[in-house]
């Protein structure tokens, strides 16, 4: 790979030299002729799907999600924010005035939260898709599907 790159650079520099009026020998022409570079044929390449389905590893009881879930506001550890999940599938924001939660749904281990923003130009409805990594009586750990690997959001139940 490095040899091919260096050969290409030498051909480029030799070409610049010729364009500037320099001369090159016929030996250099045959050694650095770019028509001699072989390119692998990829027309028969097989593409393997890189997405692998993983079976649900966490059984989630929707009844355990009902309630108020809060977490510290970033940079303001004494302030809390979160959401309230109700029995009827409705949701509400807690201490978030521009992000308004509307409803929620559980699909296997995935929590869907419909929301929209208020007080901003774009008020379109968005569905936050999060995978539930942990759920106990007091703790909820979510992984937003569009987040970086390893990122999680941790909530605690508000009594």
Reported pTM: 0.62
Per-residue pLDDT of the chain (159 residues; tens, 9 = 90+): 444 444 444 444 444 444 445 454 455 554 555 445 555 554 454 544 434 444 545 788 999 999 999 999 999 989 999 999 999 999 999 999 899 999 999 999 999 999 999 888 877 889 999 999 999 999 999 999 999 999 999 999 998
Alpha-carbon 134 to chain mean position = 20
User: What local confidence, expressed as pLDDT, does residue 31 receive?
Assistant: 53
Torsion of CA 28, 29, 30, 31, to 10 degrees: 40
> Is residue 12 helix, strand or coil?
helix
C-alpha span between 105 and 111 (Å, rounded): 6
Q: Which candidate, 116, 121, 107, 126, places its Cα nearest to that of 62?
A: 107
């Amino acid at each position: 790979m490095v040899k091919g790159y260096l050969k290409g650079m030498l051909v480029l520099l030799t070409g610049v030299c010729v364009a500037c009026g320099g001369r090159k020998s016929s030996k250099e022409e045959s050694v650095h002729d770019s028509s001699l570079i072989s390119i692998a044929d990829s027309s028969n390449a097989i593409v393997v799907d890189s997405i692998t389905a993983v079976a649900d590893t966490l059984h989630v009881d929707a009844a355990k999600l009902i309630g108020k879930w809060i977490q510290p506001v970033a940079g303001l550890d004494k302030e809390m924010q979160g959401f309230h999940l109700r029995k009827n599938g409705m949701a509400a924001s807690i201490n978030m005035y521009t992000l308004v939660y509307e409803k929620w749904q559980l699909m296997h281990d995935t929590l869907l939260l419909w929301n929209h923003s208020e007080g901003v130009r774009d008020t379109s409805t968005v569905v936050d898709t999060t995978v539930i990594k942990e759920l106990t009586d007091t703790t909820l750990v979510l992984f937003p599907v569009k987040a970086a690997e390893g990122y999680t959001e941790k909530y605690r139940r508000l009594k």
